[in-house]
Amino acid sequence: MRAPCVYIETFGCQMNEYDTELVRSILKNRGYGFTDTADAADVVLLNTCAIRENAHNKVYGHLGALKHLKEDKGVVIGVLGCMAQNLKTDLMGKDSLIDVLAGPDSYRALPDLLEQAAAGKKALAVDLSEYETYVDIAPDRVAGVAAWVAVMRGCDNFCTFCVVPYTRGRERSRTLPDVVREIEAAAESGCKQVTLLGQNVNSYHDGTSDFADLLCAAASVSGIERVRFTSPHPKDFPEKLLDAVAEHPKICKHIHLPAQAGNDRILAMMNRTYTCTEYRKLVEQILTRCPQIVLTTDIIAGFCSEADDEYKETYRLLEDIRFASAYVFKYSERKHTIAARKFADDVSEQVKSERVTQLIELQRGISLAYNLGMIGEVMEILVEGEGKRADQWMGRTDGNIVTVFPKTHGTLKPGSLISVRIVDATVTTLYGESALS
Ligand code: 5AD
Ligand code: SF4
């Protein structure tokens, strides 16, 4: 009998991309094949995100588009990931198209769930685990320049807006030797850059080693040129971690430091556990320790009861710190979160949108000035692949800024590190002159 063919679509964060690689590995071991189109598949899996309303809506849209495949060909449809975990039986209603639901800690059960579904019985596994780290499963990744490596899973912070503690459960770390083995395997297959992933990555601790130890161990793997990490929480930045980032040449000088808001009352309501002054002090400390660090952030606008003058403090934070870039999100109430249970989502859609637009406009100006300021500098670029045009290469600076330059050098290939002189810039991209050496 022909092996059933699976099509997987991934939504959301890099952790979900990584989980899709785990799912591929688990299914491959049980004889499943893969296809790049839903039309050619026997099984369609959507690995979903629950972080904001629009992530949800996207998945519902895709489910609707799968209806004809279900009716015409009887494909098995599975929903994996955070939305599966968060909505559980809501998604499995009698008339639902969905045959299988599996939360982020239940992927080992997936082959059995799919067999059950093929036999005509809806199947679900959404228990969260305190231990599951998929330690023995090697992700099935496409060999390339960059790899994601999950080093811890779950989150214990309970920021009041955030659904992650409910969809991904308690924090747990993989052991350092296990993570290093995975990075060595990636390096052997040609990977040059690893990004260490965790919902709260810098609270990593395996009982013996902390996150700074892990970063240094990752950066010492032969063949690895760059180590990045995402997403950290400002509460876990001891000197030791700053020293590691500042001193190790292979640890990228880029820190994504989600601020979320610039007002103390809102930060307290969000349970971020720092004040705006403490956040600013941390930024100062980082920049003193390592002046070339590129800082980026996440901001939420229109959180419950946020007043205009409070929002303006967030505006001022962006003006003052001048991040290289910032993701600005409209607050979106999520089922089960503390904010959904305790606070009214009472900032109007219009005001939320106005605040988001203003913050994005402000940040676009800052990012443009930041990038224009690099004109004339020579930056080391890790080539990732072709640019939008076939006569250009695309890569990134150590600080993670996308850089495009002409293909005048015959010997370059994805994975090459090359010095490039910056000659032009836009809000999101640096443009370089032909490679220098
Ligand atoms: N509404 C809007 N943005 C959110 N984020 C997390 N939860 C929400 C929510 N309910 C944002 C935060 C976080 C990023 C990954 O997504 O800024 O850092
Ligand atoms: Fe979305 Fe968060 Fe789940 Fe990632 S961990 S898929 S961002 S809800």
Residue pLDDT tens, the chain, 437 long: 678 999 999 999 999 999 999 999 999 999 999 999 999 999 999 999 999 988 888 898 999 889 999 989 999 999 999 999 988 878 887 678 999 999 999 999 999 999 999 999 999 999 999 999 999 999 999 889 999 999 999 999 999 999 999 999 999 999 999 999 999 999 999 999 999 999 999 999 999 999 999 999 999 999 999 999 999 999 999 999 999 999 999 999 999 999 999 999 999 999 999 999 999 999 999 999 999 999 999 999 999 999 999 999 999 999 999 999 999 999 999 999 999 999 999 999 999 999 999 999 999 999 999 999 999 999 999 999 999 998 999 999 999 999 999 998 678 999 999 999 999 999 999 999 975 55
Q: Is there an atom of ligand 2 within 6 Å of 59 CB? A: no
Helix (H) or strand (E) holding 244: helix 239-247
E strands within 20-106? 33-34, 43-48, 76-81, 100-102
Q: How far is the CA of 289 from the centre of ligand 2 (A)?
A: 32
Asked whether the beta carbons of 255 and 195 are under 8 A apart, the reply is no
Provide the CB-side half-sphere exposure for 66 (13 A, CA).
Answer: 29
Ligand with smallest separation from the Cα of 56: 2
Q: What is the pLDDT of residues 356-414, one digit of tens each?
A: 999 999 999 999 999 999 999 999 999 999 999 989 999 999 999 999 999 986 789 99
CA–CA dist 214, 147 (Å, integer): 16
Q: Is there an atom of ligand 1 within 6 Å of 14 CB? A: no
DSSP, collapsed to helix, strand or coil, labels residue 99 as coil
Q: How far is the CA of 280 from the centre of ligand 1 (A)?
A: 20
> Which residues does 108 contact at the CB level (< 8 Å), separation at least 6?
26, 132, 134
Ligand 2, atom nearest to 168 Cα: 5
Residue nearest to atom 2 of ligand 1 (CA): 331
Q: What is the pLDDT of residues 44-99, one digit of tens each?
A: 999 999 999 888 888 989 998 899 999 899 999 999 999 999 888 788 876 789 99
Ligand with smallest separation from the Cα of 159: 1
CA–CA dist 380, 50 (Å, integer): 36
pTM for the whole thing?
Answer: 0.95
CA–CA dist 127, 435 (Å, integer): 52
**Position 343, amino acid:** F
Q: Is there an atom of ligand 1 within 6 Å of 258 CB? A: yes
Asked whether the beta carbons of 237 and 272 are under 8 A apart, the reply is no
Q: Is there an atom of ligand 1 within 6 Å of 331 CB? A: yes
**Position 36, amino acid:** D
**Position 182, amino acid:** E
Q: Is there an atom of ligand 2 within 6 Å of 167 CB? A: yes
Q: How far is the CA of 246 from the centre of ligand 1 (A)?
A: 28
Ligand with smallest separation from the Cα of 165: 2
Asked whether the beta carbons of 261 and 302 are under 8 A apart, the reply is no
What is the set of domains in the chain, with CATH numbers? 5-125 (3.40.50.12160), 141-252 (3.30.750.210), 254-372 (3.30.750.200), 378-432 (2.40.50)
Shortest CA distance to 157 belongs to which of 138, 144, 140, 170? 170
Ligand with smallest separation from the Cα of 86: 2
Shortest CA distance to 227 belongs to which of 296, 311, 300, 147? 147
Q: Is there an atom of ligand 2 within 6 Å of 162 CB? A: no
Q: Is there an atom of ligand 1 within 6 Å of 82 CB? A: no
Tokens of 274: 């720092």
Tokens of 327: 């993701």
Q: Is there an atom of ligand 1 within 6 Å of 256 CB? A: no
Q: Is there an atom of ligand 1 within 6 Å of 157 CB? A: no
> Which residues does 119 contact at the CB level (< 8 Å), separation at least 6?
none
